[in-house]
Structure 1
């Protein structure tokens, strides 16, 4: 029993650290949307989005700040919900990454087709990170 408890504590510490890092990253990205990185983020907004590109960047920045804050401070019983919402956000913004690639828009150092293409593979990592860092423990004591 002691050994299982130690495994659960270690698992929870790793998940907590991963969740807080993801939340902090979302907060930082959201602040970037509103300030220093506003122009590069506009490069990722697909032309078919019915809002002005700058408005889309601002709104998504506010959402990222709110969601990042939720990941950092939400009570334990709601972590899995916050993680699912974060995963949904990462899926929802993926068309922006595709648009950046297909329209050859340079931003954030993604100034070649190869770099923009590789960026597409990072989005599933974010989805996985959001889900795994917030899922309920499988170890029951």
Structure 2
């Protein structure tokens, strides 16, 4: 069961990362907090591209590095925690993206983030 869950998570990460790069970049920009571009010399598109590349690499690593799956799972969980402020910014800023066009939908999305963290950790435990 853990193997199946890990493969599903890997596929989801690679799909999400690919969507960052090719067709949903503008949607993902709604999740980039303004503070990031105010503090760093980077624009929202670059943040989306970089995070997409990271998602593809982490998804691939879940499959390609079976001996490192525990470490990759921990890194992926940390990634999910690191992007959580973007989800908060989207909710508080009432930014539309991915059909999250009302407060309820945006806050339900926030509640799903801990599930992703738990999934990454559980599916990569020995």
State TM-score, norm by structure 2: 0.95
Is the partner of 1:115 in helix, strand or coil? helix
1:57 pairs with 2:44: no
1:87 to 66, 69, 77: 77
Q: Which runs of 5+ in 1 are unaligned?
A: 1-13, 137-141
Aligned partners of 2:95 and 2:22: how far apart in 1? 20
1:132 to 112, 122, 125: 122
Shift of 1:73: 1.7
Q: Which runs of 5+ in 2 are unaligned?
A: none
Q: Give the root-mean-square deviation of aligned CA atoms.
A: 0.6
What are the Cα deviations for residues 33-66 of structure 1, in whole angstroms up to 9, with x where unaligned?
A: 0011000000000001122000000000000000
State TM-score, norm by structure 1: 0.85
The ranges of structure 1 where at least 4 consecutive aligned residues each deviate by more than 3 angstroms after the TM superposition are: none
Q: Is the 8 A contact 1:30 1:61 kept in 2?
A: yes
Is the partner of 1:135 in helix, strand or coil? coil
2:94 to 104, 111, 119: 104
Q: How many residue pairs were aligned?
A: 122
Shift of 1:123: 0.4
Shift of 1:108: 0.3
- Choose 1 or 2 for highest CA Rg: 1
